[in-house]
Structure 1
Amino acid sequence: MILWFTTLQIVIAVAAGLFAVIAGLLGRRPSDYTVGALALVEALLIVQVVMAIIAPFAGNPPSGDPLEFWVYLISAALLPVGGVVWALLERSRWSTVILGVVAFAVAIMLWRMEVIWTIQVA
């Protein structure tokens, strides 16, 4: 993983989470803005998947358990999809809050993936 890209992802995920939670607590239902923020988080996760495939071949292998890393990455990539499906099926203020919680969960998982890739020794 590349530290600056992971940091960018975490900042965007936290910003999307704050935006969605505040919007939900203010009574807003899911909108193009809240769903779009989570779509941006998902797009960055897809880029991260591609980078994680290429990185070991470029001389940047994970120092931790690769299986644990990939489980985190695949799970993190599925979370926004599930959150958006939920938000589109149940269009209430609480589904907007769920979008924010999903974004926060992705941010935490990204940090854990960075630790597995760079710090943790298998």
Structure 2
Amino acid sequence: MILPFTLVQLALACLVGLVCVVLGLIGRKPNDVTVLALGVVEVLLLAQIVAAILAPGLGNPPSGSPLEFWLYLVSAAIIPPLAIVWALVERTRWSNVVLGAAAFAVAVMLWRMEQIWTVQGM
């Protein structure tokens, strides 16, 4: 994994999570801002998948378990679309909170993926 890219993803996921939770708690229903923001998090996860496919061939293999890394990455990539579907089907203020929780879950998983990729072999 590329640390600066991971940090950007992590910061964005936390920001999206915070915005979605705050908007949900003040009573706003899901809208373009919250849904598209989580969509951007998903697009960056798809870019991370491409980077993870290319990195070992370019001399940057994971130091930890590749299976564990890929399970985290695939799981993280599944969470935003499921949360977006939930938000579009059940358009309540709590759907925004679900979008925020999904973004925070992705942030935690991104940090764990960074640990698996770089720290475990030291």
Q: Aligned-residue CA RMSD in angstroms?
A: 0.9
> Hey, what's the Cα distance between the residues in 2 that align with 1:88 and 1:121?
42
Report the TM-score when normalising by structure 2: 0.99
Q: Does 1:99 align with 2:60?
A: no
Q: CA deviation at 1:121?
A: 2.6
Aligned partner of 1:39 in structure 2 is: 39
Q: CA deviation at 1:86?
A: 0.3
Q: Does 1:69 align with 2:69?
A: yes
Aligned partner of 2:120 in structure 1 is: 120
Residues matched between the structures, number? 122
Aligned partner of 2:3 in structure 1 is: 3
* Amino acid in structure 2 at the alignment position of 1:86: W
1:42-78: CA deviation from partner (whole Å, max 9, x where unpaired): 0000000000000000000000000000000000000
Unaligned runs of 5+ in 2: none
> Hey, what's the Cα distance between the residues in 2 that align with 1:105 and 1:116?
17
* Amino acid in structure 1 at the alignment position of 2:47: V
> Hey, what's the Cα distance between the residues in 2 that align with 1:35 and 1:65?
33
Identity of aligned residues (%): 61
Q: CA deviation at 1:82?
A: 0.4
> Hey, what's the Cα distance between the residues in 1 that align with 2:30 and 2:75?
23
Unaligned runs of 5+ in 1: none
Q: CA deviation at 1:91?
A: 0.3
* SS of alignment partner, residue 24 of structure 1: helix
Report the TM-score when normalising by structure 1: 0.99
